[in-house]
Each structure stands twice: as C-alpha cells, then as structure tokens.
Structure 1
Amino acid sequence: MSRIGKQPVALPDGVTATLSGQTLEVKGPKATKSFTATDDVTLTIEDGQITVTPRGKSKRARQQWGMTRTVVANLVHGSKDTFKKELEIRGVGYRAQMQGNVLKLNLGLSHDVDFVVPEGVTVTAPKQTELVVEGTDKQLVGQVAANIRDWRPPEPYKGKGIRYKDEYIFQKEGKKK
C-alpha cells in the first residue's frame, strides 16, 4: 500500500479542478495547469478532494499511484502559490546579476556565463551572491536551479561554488606538509 497515494489532495479556496478522462485540469489564481495520468491509476474528484486509486495490483500501478498523487498535489499547490529555490554563490569574485531575461554569472571561468531563463520561471538576484528561482511548476523550478548550480557546483576543499541555501557541504582536509 502506498502511504502517500492513500492521502487525498484537498482543493483550497480559489482552486478548481476538472476531470475529463485521464486529464486533470487545475485552475487557480496563479496558474492553470493540466496533467494526464497513466491508465494504471484512476482519478476522482469528490467533496473538494482529489483521490488517486490504482487499477489492479501490478507493480507499475503501485508505482504510478504515489507518483500521480504527488504530481496532483504539486499542481494544486502551484496553481495557488509559487515554488521557490534559493541559491547562494560563494567564492572570491563570484557574482550574478539579471539583465532582462538573461542571468549573467561570473564564476571564475575564462568567460562570463549567460544563462537564458526559460518561460514560466522567474530568477531574481537580490544580492550579487544570492539567487531566487520561482515559478508555479515544481519540476521546472528545480530543474532550472539545478542547471544554474551545474555551472560551478560547490567543491569540498574551500566550499567555493553555487549551492542551495540550506545545503551542507562536507569540508575535506587539504594536503599536509
């Protein structure tokens, strides 16, 4: 039994959901999102709640059960609020700034990195060493944050690089004489 899949997703005030076949459309004040579930699960809307149940006892149906419930919960949350990932840049001379739809990163490379922010995500730089990635699609926000972090992941000796705000980097001891 899926512990996550058993829990229904409550629809908050201002969010409506419509179901046509296996396609669920969620409308809210921030966004309108849709999701097409696989044939392994059944979606139902009753009493302001969306429930997901598996069709059969196959391994794939049980896998899709919890995953589909989580995706539906993220759709409902994203239509009402935004998802946010915070990044911080550490290193001498490392900095970032927004210029229109392009994030300019100075990360100690021989050239500046120009990262084009995709549609549906907003990136802000409140300080030169801080970045905030926001959007209504949780997967897209996480992917954009990961793509930015990939330009200079934190290294274990001095901790220089781009890291998530709450990320802990284990510091290694350097060479001894």
Structure 2
Amino acid sequence: MSRVGKMPVAVPQGVEVALTADQISVKGAQGALVRPVHRLVKVASENGQINFAPADESAEANAMSGTMRALVANMVTGVSKGFERKLNLVGVGFRAQAQGQKLNLQIGFSHPVVKEMPAGIKVECPTQTEILIKGADRQVVGQLAAEVRAFRPPEPYKGKGIRYSDEKVTIKETKKK
C-alpha cells in the first residue's frame, strides 16, 4: 500500500469535512473546496481524521489512494491557512499594480498586460515590483503564478523578466570575439 496513502489527514479546529459517495467537500475560514472521490479509493472520516484506502489490490488503486490523500491534505491546508506564491519583477520600468480582481502589468511591451483573477483568488502588490497571489486552492494559485510568469519569463543574459521569489536565474556569459 502507498506510504503516503496510509497516513491519515488531520482535520484542524474550524474546518468542516463532508463526505458523500462520490465527492468530498471541505469548508474553512479561507473558503470551501469540493473534489470528486476516485472510484478506486475508499474514504472514511473518524475522530477528526480522514483515512484513505485502495478499493482493490491493483497498482492503480494503490497509487490513487496516495494521490487522493495528498489532494485532500492540500484542500484542508488551503481552507485553514491558504496558499500563496510570490513573484518579483526584474527590469527597468517593470511595474505591477493590483486593481480589484485585475493585475495590471507594465513589463516592457508597448501596451499594458491585464490578467483577470478568477473567483477565490486575491492578488496584492506590496511594492511595484512584487506580486502576491493568494487563495485556498493550491493548483489554481500555482497555475496563475505560472501564467503571470509566462508573460515575460526571465531571460538568461540580463535576468530581466518575471520570476518566482525563490527562483535562481543563471546568467549566461555574452558571446566573445
């Protein structure tokens, strides 16, 4: 059996978990998330913990029990604490501005780039060169950060562009004569 799938998910104070036959829903201070339960996984909730087990002896059921456990653990963390990704803008004249549910970027193009944020996601700009994307769903937060970074990924010669705050950009040496 999957080592990850064996570990139960602890449900913290203030988080409600509702199990039905085909889906699991988690509610907390940061919001509510719903995920369908895979047919090869049995889910049980008892004593403030959620347990996962494969429905049969197949390798796919074993793998899916660990996957479902990890996804539900991220849901519980998301509705209790939330997730965030921090991006930095590096370049002369590069600016970001949060306007409600829109992110307005000036990143060296002849026009400003505007990115609309989906429901449940908050975007903040503590400074003009920092972007904070926050939300309860880890996958959506990571995907949005990747989409914003894709507007202007860091280039290898000067390092200009949008990068994650923990990303290391290796600068190449210029061509010699």
Q: For 2:131, give the aligned amino acid.
A: L
Q: Is the 8 A contact 2:84 2:133 kept in 1?
A: yes
TM normalised by structure 2 equals 0.95
Gaps of 5+ in 1: none
The CA deviation at 1:38 is 1.0
- Whether 2:122 is the aligned partner of 1:127: answer no
Q: For 2:135, give the aligned amino acid.
A: G
Gaps of 5+ in 2: none
Cα RMSD (Å): 1.2
The CA deviation at 1:128 is 0.6
Cα distance per residue 1:11-45 (max 9 Å; x no partner) = 01111212111311212222122211111100001
Q: Is the 8 A contact 2:30 2:135 kept in 1?
A: no
The CA deviation at 1:100 is 2.7
Report runs of 4+ in structure 1 exceeding 6 Å deviation.
none
- Whether 2:60 is the aligned partner of 1:49: answer no
Q: For 2:72, give the aligned amino acid.
A: V
Aligned length: 177
Q: Which residue of 2 aligns with 1:38?
A: 38
Cα distance per residue 1:71-100 (max 9 Å; x no partner) = 100111111111010000001111111223
Q: Which residue of 1 aligns with 2:86?
A: 86
TM normalised by structure 1 equals 0.95
Q: For 2:62, give the aligned amino acid.
A: R
Q: For 1:40, give the aligned amino acid.
A: L
Mapped to 2, the partners of 1:111 and 1:137 lie a distance apart of 31
Relative to 1, partners in 2 of residues 1:28 and 1:101: Cα closer, same or farther, differing over 3 Å? closer
Q: Percent identity?
A: 46
- Whether 2:167 is the aligned partner of 1:162: answer no
Alignment of 1:13-162 (within 5 A): 13-162=13-162
Q: Is the 8 A contact 1:156 1:171 kept in 2?
A: yes
